Amino acid sequence: MSVRLWGVALLLVATTVGCSASSSDSPPQRQREGGPKYSGPVPLPGEEARKITVPFDAYNISPAEGMRIDTAEDSLVGECMRHRGMKWKAVPLPPERDIEPTNRRRYGVVEPDAARIFGFHDPENRPSVTRRSEKADAREKQLSPKEQRAAYGDKSKSGPGGCLKKARNQVMKGAPKINIPLFNTRIKQTFDASQRDPKVKRAFRSWSTCMKNAGFRYKDPLAAVTDKRWETAKPSHNEIRTAKADVRCKKKTNLATIWMATEKHIQTNAIRKHPKDFQALKKTKQVQLKAAHRILTSS
């Protein structure tokens, strides 16, 4: 079982995602899978990232919300498996503060600590999030073929089956039909439109001048984060230097605040133009969160 998101907020690499849609054309975070892991303490996601919010957030499922829903479904799967005479080890729900914010990398790297340690690479998960993933992986490996069929149904068929399908139907009961691909398209369209806004373009130029003065030449933050030199197993010294300068220049030019304000205006207009679509998204989100709360508080 894996955390779901509907629309993937730019630069957010869903952990994802098994049950989620992903259509972001924004720069990817640099993955470290298979490479050496960072061995030091992983800092909490910074306030700089938590402060980045856009109107679409109210209609999307955040990583923290997705984990709550996923954990509720996991609890229902456990009940279903036990009724069938099979064991099921629950996976822990990490503290919400440990889970990365929805828009952590929407405008590139904004956290000084993340830049100092990881450069433009995606930050390592906090220990509680890592333990959750490890326990889920260990459980999957221990399931017999019979238990796998009971839990998930026939994997050769599209969509979940077995106890997971039953749990998902219970969590989604009463939710309207939603168009996830369309929502992902609107996320991309509004993000692209924000980059064409004159205020954002001026902020890009100011940021670029700041970076040039620091010894780095990039036209905008997205060019910095997608520099092919960072396609390595771990961040280089030069990558970290560049990322730290990027964060300083964003703060000096107020770039993230300007960009976010522009996106808020554009997204608000999109919501006003398509009220029924967004009402359905919000209703579906509310249905799942209410069900998750009910399940988790009663289990």
pLDDT, tens digit (0-9, with 9 covering 90-100), for 79-130: 999 999 999 999 999 999 999 999 999 999 999 999 999 999 999 999 999 9
Domain ranges across the chain: 47-104+121-298
CA 38 to chain centre: 21
Query: Do 135 and 91 meet the contact criterion of CB atoms below 8 Å apart?
Result: yes
- List, in order, residues 6 or more apart from 148 with CB less than 8 Å away: 155
Structure confidence by residue, pLDDT tens digits, 53-66:
999 999 999 999 99
Amino acid at 298: S
This prediction has a pTM of 0.86
Give me the pLDDT at residue 7, please: 56
Using pLDDT thresholds of 50, 70 and 90, give the confidence band for residue 161: confident
Angstrom distances, CA of residue 148 to CA of 83, 88, 138, 143, 221:
15, 11, 13, 6, 45
Tokens (6 digits) for 102? 């929805």
